[in-house]
Amino acid sequence: MRERIPVGVLAATGAVGQRFVSLLAEHPWFRVVSVTASDRSAGKRYADAVNWVIPGEIPAAVADLVVRPTDEDPGSVPLLFSALPADVAKGLEPGLVAKGYVVASNASAMRMTPDVPILVPDLNPDHVRLIEAQRRRLNTRGFGMAMANCSSTGAVFPLKALNEAFGVEAVHIVTLQAISGAGYPGVSSFDILDNIIPYISNEEDKIETEPRKMLGAVSADGTAIDFADMTISAQVHRVPVMDGHTVAMSVKLRNRASLADVREAIAAYQVAEDARDLPSMPERTMLLRDEADRPQPRRDRDTGRGMTITVGRLQPCPVFDYKLVTLSHNTLRGAAGGAILAAEYAVARGYMDEIIGEAAFAAQ
């Protein structure tokens, strides 16, 4: 057993930051030694700065940490989990990577940088190879990893299974996204109670583009991703659900497949062998349910400690070929849990050996 790797959480006081702090409290490989937030919180004890809105107590090891300003040098911490707002992330994350930090980010800032992987170990583990190209380009031992947009997370797993088995030509996606997806305090109760809002800024563009990168293949020279050749149309909605994004989708296949074939392709989904034993990997990445009224956010979002994608309502589609509904926990699988899983994979594959082997970190 090696020592737990000291990590920092950027924007540790928000909806996603709190999930990082909570999940990392008991993590076998990582331990939180540094937390940052905005100027509003910097200088305060974490427990005094945060408005803790998730289940459980504030972990004792973090409660007394003094919140650091995010633009201050993070110091002797090799790995940073970022829950920064997109605009702040854009200004800070590339600089931290250039300085030699590993940044696993939930913000959208780095997602479309060609040699930054949107790394999901049970979806596209081979994308980890982009790190080598990124390090060469930046001439640094650090690297950035982006995480999937929280709504794309629910869509990409069935799409991967279907694309590999039959080819996917087109997808129409309708999302029903939880309130916590807008952060805290997020949408005002005046706007969301008894209501549905058919707009989330920039979200449709992301869902129409980012899954094509996540489902693509590493280019021949290893410096980018050749995007998957499929057309995606997305319509998004904010709904009065606390946690758990629902995605309803219709899929047009390139090759004919029976309902039984499609069912089997999803049910038989396999995770790459070298990713199966990661601490945050759920027993099942996708759980296909046959009940007529599932998935439901309240009943299904915590499946697999919030890391399993629940799929249901699989049936023929009279417009495209098949339709289905997925449900994923947006702040766990779709944010903090996904970033921790990606970092675990990078560690397991040896991408952080050089950094964590250094005396400065071993001494912590």
Which residue's Cβ has the minimum distance to ligand NAP?
Answer: 14
Residues composing the chain: 364
End-to-end alpha carbon distance in the chain: 16
Q: Under the criterion CB under 6 A, does residue 16 sit at the interface with ligand NAP?
A: yes
Q: Give least dist CB 246 to ligand NAP, A.
A: 13
Q: Under the criterion CB under 6 A, does residue 7 sit at the interface with ligand NAP?
A: no
Q: Under the criterion CB under 6 A, does residue 335 sit at the interface with ligand NAP?
A: yes
Pattern 97-136, binding to ligand NAP, x per CB under 6 A?
Answer: ---------xx-----------------------------
Binder among 124, 250, 303, 330 for ligand NAP (CB under 6 A): 330
**What is the SS3 assignment for 184?**
coil
Residues 64-83 that bind ligand NAP (CB under 6 A): 70, 83
Q: Under the criterion CB under 6 A, does residue 84 sit at the interface with ligand NAP?
A: yes
Q: Under the criterion CB under 6 A, does residue 8 sit at the interface with ligand NAP?
A: no
Distance CA 46, CA 10 (A): 12
Q: Give least dist CB 203 to ligand NAP, A.
A: 10
Angstrom CA distances, 46 to 22, 41, 54, 58, 63, stand at: 13, 8, 15, 9, 5
Return the number of the residue (70 or 308) whose C-beta is nearest ligand NAP: 70
Give the burial string for 290-311 (b: 16+ CB within 10 Å, else e): eeeebbbbeebbbbbebbbbbb
Q: How buried is residue 196: exposed, middle or buried, by Cβ count under 10 Å (0-12/13-18/19+)?
A: exposed
| Site stretch for ligand NAP (CB under 6 A), options 36-44, 215-223, 272-280, 348-356 | 36-44
Closest C-alpha to 101, from 72, 61, 66? 72
Binder among 6, 8, 17, 306 for ligand NAP (CB under 6 A): 17
Q: Is 94 left (phi over 0), alpha (psi -120 to 50) or beta?
A: alpha
**What is the SS3 assignment for 349?**
coil
From the CB of residue 194, how many other CB atoms can be counted at a distance below 10 Å? 7
Q: Under the criterion CB under 6 A, does residue 86 sit at the interface with ligand NAP?
A: yes
Instruction: Give the ranges where 111-228 is alpha helix by DSSP (H).
Output: 130-138, 150-166, 189-192, 203-214
Enzyme catalytic residues: 150, 245
Q: Under the criterion CB under 6 A, does residue 192 sit at the interface with ligand NAP?
A: no
Distance CA 97, CA 338 (A): 19
Q: Under the criterion CB under 6 A, does residue 38 sit at the interface with ligand NAP?
A: yes
Pattern 229-268, binding to ligand NAP, x per CB under 6 A?
Answer: ----------------------------------------
Q: Under the criterion CB under 6 A, does residue 14 sit at the interface with ligand NAP?
A: yes
Q: Give least dist CB 208 to ligand NAP, A.
A: 17
Quickly list DSSP for 60-97: HHHHTSBPEETTS---S-SEEEE---HHHHHHHHHHHH
Q: Give least dist CB 75 to ligand NAP, A.
A: 16
Return the number of the residue (204 or 321) whose C-beta is nearest ligand NAP: 204
Q: Under the criterion CB under 6 A, does residue 62 sit at the interface with ligand NAP?
A: no
| Site stretch for ligand NAP (CB under 6 A), options 15-23, 56-64, 313-321, 341-349 | 15-23
Distance CA 282, CA 310 (A): 12
Q: Is 194 left (phi over 0), alpha (psi -120 to 50) or beta?
A: left
Q: Give least dist CB 177 to ligand NAP, A.
A: 8
Rg of the Cα atoms in the chain: 20
Residues 287-316 that bind ligand NAP (CB under 6 A): none
Q: How buried is residue 277: exposed, middle or buried, by Cβ count under 10 Å (0-12/13-18/19+)?
A: exposed
Binding-site ranges for ligand NAP (CB under 6 A): 11, 13-17, 37-38, 40-41, 70, 83-86, 88, 106-107, 150, 180-181, 183-184, 330-331, 334-335
